[in-house]
Structure 1
Amino acid sequence: MFDILMYLFENFIHSETEIRVDQDELTDELVRAGFHHDEIYKALSWLEKLAALQESDTNPYLANMSAMPVTRIFTHEEEMRLDVECRGFLMFLEQIKVLDASTREMVIDRVMEIDAMEFCLEDLKWVVLMVLFNVPGKENAYAQMEDLLFEEPEGPLH
């Protein structure tokens, strides 16, 4: 499923290609690209739920969040999916203001819905990028995350 999300993001969304495609057409294209129907439906459902998270009347994450810093306690299931490196990266993104409490919760929600046996920091970065791309008013945060994702380290690594 995650491969389909990546394919869609890179080929339609991120490239700013017009995505007003009939769902049947999109499914046919994904089948031609080698993806299975079950995984395609899961990925499309994942994207629909991401879009639904933007609606404040159905999204508890968009409620007026306090400006006070809050320590996020992860559930056991979240800890199993998001290792220490991933959780630390989420905290880092909040500290540099790429994510706020609302977008952090949206990211965690979408991560927990990914049907994959393994999940790594690189996958988390792409989920963050997809979430920020879909949240109006987060263009600067999206650009900052894009820089973090694609930046090449300069000079020797110590």
Structure 2
Amino acid sequence: MFEVLVYVYENYWQGDACPELHQLSRKLTAVGFEAEEIQAALVWLNGLNIAAQNTQIGLPAEADVAGKPVTATPASSGFQPQSAASLRVYSVAEQEHLGAQALGFVSFLESSGVLPPHMREIVMDRAMAAPGDPLALDDLKIIVLMVYWSFGEEPDALVLDELCDDADFRVAH
């Protein structure tokens, strides 16, 4: 499934350029992916689309002083901003499915300020929907990239490097 997601990310780097799921299925079949992998990825992508749309529902375009549309923030659209003193407690099921390494990485992204709470919750939802017990860190990184992709955002260069770089081949300076 993750190979299919990587292919989708690389070939449709702007989420809105991605074809509908049935057309995407035909294209993935033509490329040579197995039917089971394609089906699992499409179900997962459908869940991602639903989660991203539900997060963006009620995000009316606001107008600035000049009358130009401004995208609403989650806080201005009915989402409550997370308090600096708040704490996300992970359920036993989340802890078991993700494992310490993946949860540590989510915590790292969040504490670095690059994974806002509403995106973190989508990452957690999609991670729980992914196969693997525990989920491999590389698979979690793909999920994080796909969540950014679903919002039409690209993480900044340092975060993108962290998400795409293979740590096994890093040389300490």
Q: What TM-score, normalized to structure 2?
A: 0.70
Residue aligning to 1:53: 51
Residue aligning to 1:39: 37
Residue aligning to 1:29: 27
1:1-158 matches, within 5 Å, as 1-13=1-13, 18-19=17-18, 21=19, 23-54=21-52, 55-56=54-55, 63-116=79-132, 119-135=135-151, 138-139=153-154, 141=155, 143-150=157-164, 156-157=171-172
CA distance in 1, matches of 2:3, 2:166: 23
CA distance in 2, matches of 1:150, 1:40: 22
C-alpha contact 2:110 2:116 (8 A) present in aligned 1: yes
Alignment CA distance shift 1:17-1:52 (3 Å): closer
1:111 CA drift (Å): 0.7
What percent identity do the matched residue pairs reach? Answer: 30
Q: For structure 1, which runs of at least 5 residues remain unmatched after alignment?
A: none
1:18 CA drift (Å): 3.5
Q: Which deviations, in whole Å up to 9, do the C-alpha atoms of 1:47-67 show, x marking residues without a partner?
A: 2221222324879xx631332
Aligned CA RMSD, in angstroms, stands at 3.2
Residue aligning to 2:66: none
Alignment CA distance shift 1:29-1:80 (3 Å): same
C-alpha contact 2:94 2:128 (8 A) present in aligned 1: yes
> Structure 2: which amino acid aligns with 1:98?
V
C-alpha contact 1:4 1:35 (8 A) present in aligned 2: yes
Q: For structure 2, which runs of at least 5 residues remain unmatched after alignment?
A: 59-73
C-alpha contact 1:52 1:58 (8 A) present in aligned 2: no
Q: Which has the larger radius of gyration?
A: 2
Aligned length in residues: 152
CA distance in 2, matches of 1:27, 1:125: 23
Q: What TM-score, normalized to structure 1?
A: 0.75
1:112 CA drift (Å): 0.8
The range that moved more, 117-126 or 84-93, is: 117-126
C-alpha contact 2:5 2:142 (8 A) present in aligned 1: no
